[in-house]
Amino acid sequence: MAQDLTPQQIFRKKAAGEPVYDDEPQQHHRHVISVLLENSIGALNRVANMFAQRGFNLESVAVGETDDPTVSRMTIVTTGNDRIIGQVLKQLNNLVDTLRVEDLSEVPFVERELCLLQVTYTQENRKELMDILEIFRGKVINITQDSMMFELTGPTSKINAFVGMMQPHGIQEIARSGRVALARNTPFGT
Protein backbone atom coordinates (compact mmCIF):
# COMPACT_ATOMS: atom_id res chain seq x y z
CA MET A 1 0.00 0.00 0.00
CA ALA A 2 2.82 2.46 0.87
CA GLN A 3 4.29 2.07 -2.63
CA ASP A 4 1.19 3.80 -4.09
CA LEU A 5 1.43 6.76 -1.70
CA THR A 6 3.41 9.95 -2.10
CA PRO A 7 5.72 11.07 0.74
CA GLN A 8 3.14 13.76 1.63
CA GLN A 9 0.36 11.17 1.91
CA ILE A 10 2.55 8.95 4.08
CA PHE A 11 3.37 11.92 6.33
CA ARG A 12 -0.31 12.86 6.66
CA LYS A 13 -1.37 9.28 7.44
CA LYS A 14 1.31 8.94 10.12
CA ALA A 15 0.36 12.31 11.64
CA ALA A 16 -3.33 11.28 11.81
CA GLY A 17 -2.53 7.89 13.37
CA GLU A 18 -3.69 6.00 10.28
CA PRO A 19 -1.85 2.87 9.09
CA VAL A 20 0.55 3.32 6.19
CA TYR A 21 0.99 -0.41 5.56
CA ASP A 22 -1.80 -3.01 5.46
CA ASP A 23 -0.45 -4.89 8.50
CA GLU A 24 -0.20 -1.79 10.75
CA PRO A 25 -2.93 -1.22 13.35
CA GLN A 26 -4.94 2.01 13.57
CA GLN A 27 -3.94 4.27 16.45
CA HIS A 28 -7.20 5.09 18.21
CA HIS A 29 -7.27 7.54 21.08
CA ARG A 30 -10.05 8.12 23.61
CA HIS A 31 -11.31 11.71 23.71
CA VAL A 32 -13.60 13.43 26.20
CA ILE A 33 -15.49 16.25 24.47
CA SER A 34 -17.57 18.90 26.25
CA VAL A 35 -20.37 20.49 24.21
CA LEU A 36 -22.48 23.43 25.33
CA LEU A 37 -25.77 23.51 23.46
CA GLU A 38 -29.01 25.36 23.53
CA ASN A 39 -31.47 23.55 25.77
CA SER A 40 -34.00 22.96 23.01
CA ILE A 41 -36.15 20.10 21.78
CA GLY A 42 -34.19 17.77 19.51
CA ALA A 43 -30.68 19.05 20.36
CA LEU A 44 -29.54 15.72 21.85
CA ASN A 45 -31.17 13.86 18.98
CA ARG A 46 -29.24 15.91 16.40
CA VAL A 47 -25.93 15.06 18.09
CA ALA A 48 -26.77 11.35 18.31
CA ASN A 49 -27.89 11.32 14.66
CA MET A 50 -24.66 13.04 13.61
CA PHE A 51 -22.64 10.26 15.25
CA ALA A 52 -24.84 7.52 13.76
CA GLN A 53 -24.91 8.93 10.22
CA ARG A 54 -21.16 9.35 10.03
CA GLY A 55 -20.30 6.07 11.75
CA PHE A 56 -18.41 7.71 14.62
CA ASN A 57 -17.90 5.63 17.77
CA LEU A 58 -19.89 6.89 20.76
CA GLU A 59 -18.79 5.32 24.07
CA SER A 60 -20.61 7.52 26.55
CA VAL A 61 -22.97 10.50 26.61
CA ALA A 62 -24.10 12.46 29.66
CA VAL A 63 -26.31 15.55 29.38
CA GLY A 64 -27.64 18.00 31.92
CA GLU A 65 -28.59 21.62 32.48
CA THR A 66 -25.89 24.12 33.37
CA ASP A 67 -26.30 27.08 35.73
CA ASP A 68 -28.20 28.71 32.84
CA PRO A 69 -31.47 26.78 32.24
CA THR A 70 -31.35 27.64 28.52
CA VAL A 71 -27.98 25.85 28.09
CA SER A 72 -27.12 22.16 28.48
CA ARG A 73 -23.68 20.58 28.82
CA MET A 74 -23.13 17.32 26.98
CA THR A 75 -20.07 15.24 27.80
CA ILE A 76 -19.20 12.81 25.01
CA VAL A 77 -16.57 10.08 25.13
CA THR A 78 -15.47 8.83 21.73
CA THR A 79 -12.50 7.06 20.17
CA GLY A 80 -10.77 7.42 16.85
CA ASN A 81 -7.61 8.54 15.17
CA ASP A 82 -6.74 12.23 14.93
CA ARG A 83 -8.48 12.65 11.57
CA ILE A 84 -11.74 11.14 12.85
CA ILE A 85 -11.67 13.21 16.05
CA GLY A 86 -11.03 16.32 13.94
CA GLN A 87 -14.13 15.48 11.88
CA VAL A 88 -16.18 14.89 15.04
CA LEU A 89 -15.19 18.30 16.43
CA LYS A 90 -15.90 20.06 13.12
CA GLN A 91 -19.30 18.36 12.72
CA LEU A 92 -20.28 19.18 16.32
CA ASN A 93 -19.37 22.84 15.74
CA ASN A 94 -21.59 22.86 12.63
CA LEU A 95 -24.74 21.70 14.44
CA VAL A 96 -27.39 24.40 14.77
CA ASP A 97 -27.80 24.19 18.58
CA THR A 98 -24.07 24.12 19.40
CA LEU A 99 -22.69 27.04 21.41
CA ARG A 100 -19.19 25.72 22.21
CA VAL A 101 -17.18 22.51 21.65
CA GLU A 102 -14.06 21.68 23.65
CA ASP A 103 -11.84 18.59 23.43
CA LEU A 104 -10.98 18.13 27.10
CA SER A 105 -8.35 15.53 26.23
CA GLU A 106 -6.12 18.43 25.18
CA VAL A 107 -6.27 20.16 28.59
CA PRO A 108 -6.20 19.08 32.25
CA PHE A 109 -9.71 18.02 33.24
CA VAL A 110 -11.70 16.44 36.05
CA GLU A 111 -14.10 13.59 35.27
CA ARG A 112 -16.60 11.67 37.36
CA GLU A 113 -18.99 8.82 36.78
CA LEU A 114 -21.80 7.50 38.98
CA CYS A 115 -22.27 3.77 39.50
CA LEU A 116 -25.15 1.97 41.20
CA LEU A 117 -24.34 -1.67 41.82
CA GLN A 118 -26.48 -4.36 43.44
CA VAL A 119 -24.65 -7.40 44.76
CA THR A 120 -25.66 -10.60 46.54
CA TYR A 121 -24.48 -10.82 50.13
CA THR A 122 -24.41 -13.37 52.91
CA GLN A 123 -23.25 -13.18 56.51
CA GLU A 124 -19.97 -14.74 55.35
CA ASN A 125 -19.10 -12.11 52.71
CA ARG A 126 -20.78 -9.04 54.27
CA LYS A 127 -17.65 -7.80 56.08
CA GLU A 128 -15.51 -8.23 52.95
CA LEU A 129 -18.05 -6.30 50.86
CA MET A 130 -18.15 -3.48 53.40
CA ASP A 131 -14.34 -3.35 53.54
CA ILE A 132 -14.13 -3.05 49.74
CA LEU A 133 -16.84 -0.38 49.76
CA GLU A 134 -14.95 1.59 52.42
CA ILE A 135 -11.70 1.43 50.43
CA PHE A 136 -13.50 2.86 47.38
CA ARG A 137 -15.39 5.44 49.52
CA GLY A 138 -18.78 4.24 48.39
CA LYS A 139 -22.12 4.14 50.22
CA VAL A 140 -24.77 1.53 50.89
CA ILE A 141 -28.02 3.00 49.56
CA ASN A 142 -30.35 0.00 49.84
CA ILE A 143 -30.31 -3.32 51.63
CA THR A 144 -32.55 -6.39 51.62
CA GLN A 145 -32.14 -9.81 53.24
CA ASP A 146 -29.95 -11.08 50.42
CA SER A 147 -28.67 -8.04 48.48
CA MET A 148 -27.04 -4.66 48.96
CA MET A 149 -27.01 -1.73 46.58
CA PHE A 150 -23.96 0.50 46.53
CA GLU A 151 -23.39 4.00 45.16
CA LEU A 152 -19.94 5.03 44.01
CA THR A 153 -18.66 8.11 42.21
CA GLY A 154 -15.24 8.76 40.76
CA PRO A 155 -13.14 8.52 37.63
CA THR A 156 -13.92 5.67 35.24
CA SER A 157 -10.80 3.77 36.29
CA LYS A 158 -12.02 3.73 39.91
CA ILE A 159 -15.49 2.54 38.85
CA ASN A 160 -13.97 -0.21 36.69
CA ALA A 161 -11.76 -1.36 39.58
CA PHE A 162 -14.75 -1.44 41.97
CA VAL A 163 -16.86 -3.45 39.52
CA GLY A 164 -13.95 -5.88 39.10
CA MET A 165 -13.71 -6.35 42.88
CA MET A 166 -17.47 -6.98 43.15
CA GLN A 167 -17.72 -9.55 40.33
CA PRO A 168 -16.70 -12.56 42.45
CA HIS A 169 -19.52 -11.71 44.88
CA GLY A 170 -22.35 -12.00 42.35
CA ILE A 171 -23.39 -8.71 40.78
CA GLN A 172 -27.15 -8.71 40.27
CA GLU A 173 -27.48 -5.37 38.47
CA ILE A 174 -25.34 -2.43 37.54
CA ALA A 175 -26.12 1.04 36.18
CA ARG A 176 -23.50 3.58 35.17
CA SER A 177 -24.13 7.20 34.30
CA GLY A 178 -21.38 7.77 31.79
CA ARG A 179 -18.75 10.43 32.34
CA VAL A 180 -19.24 14.07 33.15
CA ALA A 181 -16.19 16.30 32.88
CA LEU A 182 -15.01 19.89 33.18
CA ALA A 183 -11.72 21.51 32.29
CA ARG A 184 -9.55 21.90 35.37
CA ASN A 185 -8.55 25.42 36.40
CA THR A 186 -4.84 25.38 37.14
CA PRO A 187 -3.95 28.71 38.75
CA PHE A 188 -0.43 27.55 39.64
CA GLY A 189 0.46 25.96 36.28
CA THR A 190 0.21 22.36 35.14
Query: No. of H helices and E strands in the chain?
Result: 5, 9
Concatenated DSSP letters of 130-187: HHHHHHTT-EEEEE-SSEEEEEEEE-HHHHHHHHHHHGGG-EEEEEE---EEEEPP-T
| Residues 35-46 pLDDT 10s | 999 988 888 889
Checking if the pLDDT of 189 tops 70, the result is: no
At 47, which helix (H) or strand (E)? helix 43-54
User: What distance, in Å, lies between the first and last C-alpha atoms of the chain?
Assistant: 42
| Residues 92-145 pLDDT 10s | 999 989 999 999 988 899 999 999 999 999 999 999 999 999 999 999 999 999
Instruction: List the domains of the chain with CATH numbers.
Output: 2-106 (3.30.70.260), 109-183 (3.30.70.1150)
108: CB partners within 8 A, 6+ apart: 183, 184, 186, 190
124/112 Cα distance (integer angstroms):
32
Burial class (CB in 10 A: 0-12, 13-18, 19+), 180: buried
Burial class (CB in 10 A: 0-12, 13-18, 19+), 188: exposed
Q: Which amino acid is at 41?
A: I
Q: pTM above the 0.85 mark?
A: no
